[in-house]
Structure 1
């Protein structure tokens, strides 16, 4: 938390404790909506409700709610009267209203929709038909488009009267049936003779659009790849339905990255919804921990199978945590790189061969270096050169195998349609523990005569 927000939070809490609501209302009027929204994550539900009721401008209230997590916004709105909810939601862009309504209890959501103006409720209900994580689910229907038969002069006049459009950095050009023809930048529009028709100057070659059912992650990748501020959304017949703006894309990227990190940690973003409900949070985390638990049991069983080797060379126990730990680290690093590569589009099945051999080479280099270091430690510690050789060879092999496992596991899950972010981490950790122990004790068994002499 930066110093500005820290001071603002302390002031807000002090004014709430003293019930100095008029002073607090004046403070909120001077505070940017984004800063007000930032405060909400540090306040409990009662403090949030007090703060929200003091925002007397519905447009400001709508902007604040748009900046908060949609689940938190829905939870807050459920605490206030229905008329206020309707007023605030009607002041918001439709795509944000949809996200909040979808997080409300079904009964309340239906009441809100029935209380809205007919045209607004129809627009919102139409957007709710699309998947939440699709282009249709995040698009804005308040955009600016013009007919191709208009002149440049008429287009500029129409732009000057535009009020409700979310973003007028681009002018989308359509035909009489609202098929998307092309796109114009404002610069293009202002640098051509006023009598020319839009159809004659519109850019059709450089037009980038997405279908309404395109995954939001793919939409974000296209916006980032082509450095555009908005991307049009069309249906199967190429009718222009809406646009996805860069601010929505930033939200998507943050959401997808957060989701991937939660999954790779064996947790879930749902935990945020449960707050401090320990049993529900434990239920979400347990499946992945149990996966690792069974992996640990298998690892223990393998050590039991090699008990004769251990009984003869007890010094081998010293390096079990090192072998399994380093293998897990290397595998986790490779898996993270591949999962993130799939998520951002930097890695796909066509580039996978290069990625595999790159990680293989990296694994070999790191394995040789770490193997030599730990082998030298084994010799100096236990005074047995063959023990050092066993530990060095096992370490180098285990780390190389771990690096390749970190590539192959996410690829396998991606190929069979399972989210690699959620499945790779426990699988890679377990697989590397098992292979590390197998490699270590198999190598030790091969050199058993030398070790015991």
Structure 2
């Protein structure tokens, strides 16, 4: 953390400990709302509540909540009176207010909607009707659009009168039924004669999404076409809202965080539980139990090959290396594929090339590592055939692991399950099992030479 924010954080914590709330309130009134929001990221929930309750301006409170995790924002609002909650939410963009209301208890959310003004509650209820991970769930309905039969001069005058709308990146053009028919830029508007009609200068091929488009797909389109906003339409092409680049950045951050948690066998839910150890343990246990049973299966396989082990005890020396390297290679491949699916760089059309690329990479790395460990086994146990067995097993195990790192996420995606869960620990466990089978299977084949 940079020095300025560290100083603010230390000062805020010191004032909270002393209960010097008037001084803390005075401090908050002097710093930028963005800096207040930044402080909240380093405070526990109790400290956040104290700080939040000292913010007097609803507009600043709304700004801070917009920058925080939505579940945290809901927890902060639950502690204050209903009228103040309503006042703060009305200062927020509708899409941010909806995200916070989604995280409130149902009874409180309904009560807040009843208190809010008709116009605000109608807009929010409309957004609540969409899936929270869809374009409709993240769009802003405060949009500015122009009729296609307007002149440039009329459009400029309308733009000058516009208030309380989302930042105008592009000017969307609609017909008399509010169907999206075109788009133009501010530059286009200012470089043509005043009497020109918008339908004569607008671009008719508009990149758009529907209200039920998944938010990841929205993010992919914004990134692919390098645009600052994308319009959202319903099934009849009626303009419903826009998703701006700041919303897309939030989506990318959320999706990346979710994937990282899943790949670690954890859950973002942990952030809600703070230091509640038993609840956090309950969230992590399922995938650890998968690893546990995978370990039992691995042990059982080793027991099945006990005859080979009894005759060649030296084989035990390299079990951790075979299983560990296979798990590492599989985890690397799975991470590449999961991230490729998430960013749109990999799809079912390019998957064949990705599979064979990872197969070759696994074989190359396996050859290098297998040659190295084979030489180690030879010189360590003075048996060239042991070196051959270990080396061959390493090459095969790493090649298979790289392939599995591609196939497992693909399988999960095919059946409609988030492929992130196919990374660690699933791939790790699967590769431990296949690694043991490959290693002891190879040793059994060459058993007569090893004796």
Q: TM-score, normalised by structure 1?
A: 0.98
Give, in whole Å, the separation in 2 of the partners of 1:44 and 1:391: 52
**1:194 aligns to what?**
194
Name the structure 2 match of 1:99. 99
Q: Quote the offset at 1:53 in angstroms.
A: 2.3
Q: How does 1:161-310 map to 2 (within 5 A)?
A: 161-205=161-205, 207-310=206-309
CA deviation vs aligned residue, 1:381-414 (integer Å, no higher than 9, x gap): 1111111111111001100000001011111111
**2:241 is paired with a residue of what secondary structure?**
strand
Q: Secondary structure at the match of 1:282?
A: helix
Is 2:81 aligned against 1:81? yes
CA distance in 1, matches of 2:34, 2:46: 20
Aligned residue for 2:22? 22
Q: Cα gap change, 1:281/1:46 in structure 2, threshold over 3 Å: closer, same or farther?
A: closer
Find the aligned partners of 1:84 and 1:25 in 2 and give their Cα distance.
18
Separation in 1, partners of 2:202, 2:108:
45
SS at match of 1:228: coil
Q: Structure 2: which 5+ residue stretches go unaligned?
A: none
- 1:55 is displaced (CA, Å) by 1.8
Q: What CA distance in whole angstroms lies between the structure 1 residues aligned with 2:6 and 2:322?
A: 45
Q: C-alpha deviations, 1:282-336, integer Å up to 9, x for none? A: 2221111111111111110110011111111111100000000000000000011
CA deviations 1:124-168 (Å, max 9, x no partner) are 011100000000000000111111111111111111122211111
For this pair of structures, how many residues does the alignment match? 451
SS in 1 for 2:171: strand
Deviates more, 1:169-178 or 1:35-44: 35-44
Q: Which moved more, 1:47-56 or 1:3-12?
A: 47-56
Deviations 1:237-271 (A, max 9, x none): 00000000100000000000000010010001111
Identify the residue that residue 438 of structure 1 maps to in structure 2: 437
Give 3-state SS (helix, strand or coil) of 1:425's partner. Answer: coil
1:340 Cα deviation after fit: 0.8
Contact 1:208 1:232 (C-alpha < 8 Å) held by counterparts: yes
Q: Distance in 2 between matches of 1:91 and 1:330?
A: 50
Structure 1 residue runs of 4 or more that deviate by more than 6 Å after TM superposition: none
Q: How does 1:325-344 map to 2 (within 5 A)?
A: 325-344=324-343
- Alignment of 1:38 with 2:38, yes or no, is yes
CA contact (8 A) 1:413 1:424 kept: no
Q: Which runs of 5+ in 1 are unaligned?
A: none
User: CA offset at residue 379 of structure 1?
Assistant: 1.4
- For 1:136-175, list aligned pairs within 5 A: 136-175=136-175
Q: What do residues 335-370 of structure 1 show as CA deviations (whole Å, max 9, x unaligned)?
A: 111111111110011101100000010001000000
Relative to structure 1, the CA distance from residue 214 to residue 315 in structure 2 (aligned partners, 3 Å threshold; closer, same or farther) is same
For the pair 1:355 / 2:354, whether they are aligned, the reply is yes
**Structure 1 CA distance for aligned equivalents of residues 246 and 35 of structure 2:** 17
How far off is 1:169 after superposition?
Answer: 1.6
TM, length-normalised to structure 2: 0.98
